[in-house]
A = this chain, B = another copy of it.
Amino acid sequence: MKPALSRPKARAALMQELEYAVRKSSALGVLFGQTVANRVGVSSSDLECLDFLNIEGRVTAGRLAELTGLTTGAITGVVDRMEKAGLVRRERDESDRRKVFIAIVPEALGRIGRFYEPLQKAVTKDWEGYTDAELKLLLRFMTQGYNTMLGVLEDLKTSPEKPQGRPRKPARG
């Protein structure tokens, strides 16, 4: 009955609260993305691609498909729309002319970043309330979470159960 180090009841409750907070934030993040996409005038998927392009630099169409979980055919549509909107550019690889790199048009960065700026400013202000040591802990927490999620996702994708090999929906036609 006696707890070992700290009261385990409180600790379990703390973890549950943290989990709840993470889940709520995650859900809100999705909604935020949808709202920004709406404001920028592109679909959620399109904005997701733009974010990846921003993070990873210019990437090929195929890599974008991997990153988003869409088929390459869908990516063609995504890039078509965004290219027409002047947000990205197709650049053929000269050494392997099958490959098509997608790159953000520099001017578009501001056009999109504009909508993230208020969040970034608010968040930066929040974070100024933390010490360096605390920020380091937060970074460790986020990095660890990312890696853990990545590992579990890989298992989830490769685990058997359900036919497999099918990108998204149950077969129909």
Q: Does A69 contact B (CB under 8 A)?
A: yes
Judging by beta carbons under 8 Å apart, are A18 and B127 in contact? yes
Judging by beta carbons under 8 Å apart, are A123 and B29 in contact? no
Judging by beta carbons under 8 Å apart, are A123 and B148 in contact? yes
Judging by beta carbons under 8 Å apart, are B168 and A34 in contact? yes
Kindly provide the distance from the CB of A25 to the nearest chain B CB, expressed in whole angstroms: 5
- Beyond A22-B142, A141-B138, whether A156 also contacts B35 by CB under 8 A is yes
Judging by beta carbons under 8 Å apart, are B142 and A25 in contact? yes
Task: Decide if the interface of chain A is mainly helix, strand, loop or mixed.
Answer: helix
Judging by beta carbons under 8 Å apart, are A143 and B35 in contact? no
Judging by beta carbons under 8 Å apart, are B14 and A55 in contact? no
**B-contacting residues of A (Cβ < 8 Å)?**
6, 10-11, 14-15, 17-36, 38-39, 41, 43, 48, 51-52, 55, 67-69, 115, 118-120, 122-124, 126-127, 130, 132, 134-139, 141-146, 148-153, 155-157, 162, 166-170
